[in-house]
Amino acid sequence: MTHVKFNHSPLPRLVEDIFNSGWNKYVKDDFLTSDFFTTHPPVNIVETKDAFLLDVVAPGFVKEDFKISADDKAITISAERKAEAKTEGDKQVRREFNFKSFKRSFSITETVDVNRIQAKYENGILKVTLSKKENKQDAPKEIVVE
Protein backbone atom coordinates (compact mmCIF):
# COMPACT_ATOMS: atom_id res chain seq x y z
CA MET A 1 0.00 0.00 0.00
CA THR A 2 1.31 3.43 -0.95
CA HIS A 3 1.00 6.35 1.40
CA VAL A 4 -0.23 9.51 -0.40
CA LYS A 5 0.05 12.87 1.31
CA PHE A 6 -2.34 15.70 0.35
CA ASN A 7 -1.53 19.37 0.82
CA HIS A 8 -4.77 21.09 1.76
CA SER A 9 -3.21 24.50 2.39
CA PRO A 10 -4.51 27.12 -0.08
CA LEU A 11 -1.43 29.33 0.43
CA PRO A 12 0.89 27.71 -2.16
CA ARG A 13 -1.87 27.84 -4.77
CA LEU A 14 -2.61 31.50 -3.92
CA VAL A 15 1.05 32.46 -4.30
CA GLU A 16 1.25 30.58 -7.58
CA ASP A 17 -1.90 32.32 -8.85
CA ILE A 18 -0.50 35.74 -7.99
CA PHE A 19 2.75 35.17 -9.85
CA ASN A 20 1.23 33.41 -12.84
CA SER A 21 -1.80 35.65 -13.30
CA GLY A 22 -2.31 39.10 -14.74
CA TRP A 23 -0.72 40.74 -11.67
CA ASN A 24 2.73 39.46 -12.67
CA LYS A 25 2.17 40.64 -16.23
CA TYR A 26 1.04 44.03 -14.94
CA VAL A 27 4.11 44.47 -12.75
CA LYS A 28 6.53 43.10 -15.32
CA ASP A 29 5.11 44.98 -18.29
CA ASP A 30 4.44 48.34 -16.68
CA PHE A 31 6.74 48.90 -13.72
CA LEU A 32 9.83 46.94 -14.62
CA THR A 33 10.24 48.31 -18.12
CA SER A 34 11.44 51.70 -19.17
CA ASP A 35 8.02 52.24 -20.76
CA PHE A 36 6.46 53.02 -17.39
CA PHE A 37 8.99 55.73 -16.63
CA THR A 38 8.80 57.33 -20.07
CA THR A 39 5.01 57.61 -19.95
CA HIS A 40 4.90 58.58 -16.27
CA PRO A 41 7.78 60.96 -15.60
CA PRO A 42 9.09 61.10 -12.04
CA VAL A 43 7.78 63.96 -9.91
CA ASN A 44 9.09 65.47 -6.68
CA ILE A 45 6.66 67.45 -4.52
CA VAL A 46 7.88 69.70 -1.71
CA GLU A 47 5.71 71.71 0.65
CA THR A 48 7.05 75.02 1.92
CA LYS A 49 5.41 77.57 4.16
CA ASP A 50 4.09 79.51 1.15
CA ALA A 51 3.64 76.93 -1.63
CA PHE A 52 3.78 73.40 -2.99
CA LEU A 53 6.65 72.89 -5.45
CA LEU A 54 6.32 70.24 -8.16
CA ASP A 55 9.38 69.20 -10.17
CA VAL A 56 8.59 67.04 -13.20
CA VAL A 57 11.55 65.41 -14.94
CA ALA A 58 10.85 65.79 -18.66
CA PRO A 59 14.04 66.17 -20.70
CA GLY A 60 13.89 66.78 -24.44
CA PHE A 61 10.74 68.87 -24.45
CA VAL A 62 10.33 72.59 -25.07
CA LYS A 63 8.03 74.82 -23.04
CA GLU A 64 5.47 74.93 -25.86
CA ASP A 65 4.98 71.14 -25.53
CA PHE A 66 3.43 71.45 -22.05
CA LYS A 67 -0.19 72.01 -21.16
CA ILE A 68 -1.16 72.67 -17.55
CA SER A 69 -4.72 73.04 -16.32
CA ALA A 70 -6.07 73.40 -12.82
CA ASP A 71 -9.33 73.73 -10.98
CA ASP A 72 -10.18 73.74 -7.27
CA LYS A 73 -9.64 69.98 -6.92
CA ALA A 74 -6.78 68.95 -9.25
CA ILE A 75 -3.93 70.05 -11.45
CA THR A 76 -3.18 68.21 -14.69
CA ILE A 77 0.18 68.40 -16.42
CA SER A 78 0.59 66.97 -19.90
CA ALA A 79 3.14 67.17 -22.67
CA GLU A 80 3.22 66.04 -26.25
CA ARG A 81 6.10 66.30 -28.64
CA LYS A 82 5.45 66.09 -32.33
CA ALA A 83 7.51 63.59 -34.30
CA GLU A 84 10.49 65.09 -36.07
CA ALA A 85 10.10 65.37 -39.81
CA LYS A 86 12.40 63.10 -41.77
CA THR A 87 14.58 64.73 -44.35
CA GLU A 88 14.35 62.99 -47.70
CA GLY A 89 17.53 61.12 -48.41
CA ASP A 90 18.57 60.76 -44.76
CA LYS A 91 19.08 57.21 -43.57
CA GLN A 92 18.34 56.39 -39.94
CA VAL A 93 21.40 54.49 -38.74
CA ARG A 94 20.40 54.12 -35.10
CA ARG A 95 17.55 55.46 -32.95
CA GLU A 96 17.55 54.59 -29.27
CA PHE A 97 15.33 57.27 -27.82
CA ASN A 98 12.06 58.93 -28.56
CA PHE A 99 9.80 61.31 -26.72
CA LYS A 100 6.42 60.10 -25.62
CA SER A 101 3.50 62.17 -24.50
CA PHE A 102 2.40 62.00 -20.90
CA LYS A 103 -0.40 63.22 -18.68
CA ARG A 104 -0.38 63.32 -14.88
CA SER A 105 -2.98 64.66 -12.49
CA PHE A 106 -2.58 65.54 -8.83
CA SER A 107 -5.20 66.35 -6.23
CA ILE A 108 -4.80 69.75 -4.63
CA THR A 109 -6.10 71.03 -1.34
CA GLU A 110 -8.28 74.03 -0.71
CA THR A 111 -5.20 75.88 0.55
CA VAL A 112 -3.85 76.23 -3.02
CA ASP A 113 -4.58 79.50 -4.78
CA VAL A 114 -5.40 78.29 -8.30
CA ASN A 115 -5.05 81.82 -9.71
CA ARG A 116 -1.41 82.07 -8.61
CA ILE A 117 0.01 78.84 -10.09
CA GLN A 118 3.25 79.42 -12.01
CA ALA A 119 5.35 77.14 -14.20
CA LYS A 120 8.87 77.33 -15.60
CA TYR A 121 10.77 74.83 -17.73
CA GLU A 122 14.55 74.77 -17.55
CA ASN A 123 17.28 72.13 -17.93
CA GLY A 124 14.77 69.33 -18.58
CA ILE A 125 12.74 69.95 -15.43
CA LEU A 126 9.28 71.51 -15.35
CA LYS A 127 8.98 73.49 -12.12
CA VAL A 128 5.40 74.22 -11.05
CA THR A 129 4.72 76.45 -8.06
CA LEU A 130 1.32 76.15 -6.42
CA SER A 131 1.11 79.14 -4.10
CA LYS A 132 -0.95 78.79 -0.97
CA LYS A 133 -3.79 81.13 -0.15
CA GLU A 134 -2.92 83.85 2.27
CA ASN A 135 -4.28 83.18 5.73
CA LYS A 136 -6.02 86.31 6.82
CA GLN A 137 -6.66 85.86 10.46
CA ASP A 138 -9.06 88.13 12.20
CA ALA A 139 -7.65 90.18 15.02
CA PRO A 140 -8.22 88.52 18.36
CA LYS A 141 -11.58 89.54 19.70
CA GLU A 142 -11.93 90.31 23.35
CA ILE A 143 -14.88 88.65 24.95
CA VAL A 144 -16.44 90.30 27.95
CA VAL A 145 -17.67 88.04 30.69
CA GLU A 146 -20.99 89.18 32.06
Instruction: Share the mean pLDDT of the chain.
Output: 77
Mean pLDDT to the nearest integer, 48-53? 94
Positive or negative torsion for Cα 18, 24, 25, 27: positive
Predicted confidence (pLDDT) per residue in 110-133, tens digit: 999 999 999 999 999 999 999 999
Instruction: Report domain extents, the chain.
Output: 11-40, 42-83+99-134
Assign a CATH topology to domain 42-83+99-134.
Immunoglobulin-like (2.60.40)
